[in-house]
Amino acid sequence: MRVVLNQCLSSKFAKPVAFALALLPFLWLVTAAALDWLGANPAEALERSTGDWTLRMLCVVLAVTPLRTMAGLPALARFRRMAGLFVYFYAVLHLLAYSWFDMGFDLADIAKDIIKRPFVLVGFTAIVLLTPLALTSFNRAIRALGGRRWQLLHRLVYAVAVLAIVHFFWMRAGKNNFAEVAVYAAIFGSLLGWRVANAVKKKASQASSMLRS
Determine contact, residues 188/161, Cβ cutoff 8 Å.
yes
What's CA 5's distance to the chain center, in Å? 24
Mean pLDDT, residues 21-43: 95
Q: Rounded CA gap, 178 and 149, in Å?
A: 37
Radius of gyration of the chain (CA): 19
Mean pLDDT, residues 31-36: 94
Query: Domain locations in the chain?
Result: 2-208
Q: Rounded CA gap, 90 and 95, in Å?
A: 9
> Is it the case that residue 210 has pLDDT exceeding 70?
no
Q: Rounded CA gap, 83 and 79, in Å?
A: 6
Q: What is the pLDDT of residues 129-172, one digit of tens each?
A: 999 999 999 889 989 999 899 999 999 999 999 999 999 999 88
Phi, psi (degrees; rounded to nearest 5) at 40: -70, -25
Phi, psi (degrees; rounded to nearest 5) at 178: -115, 10
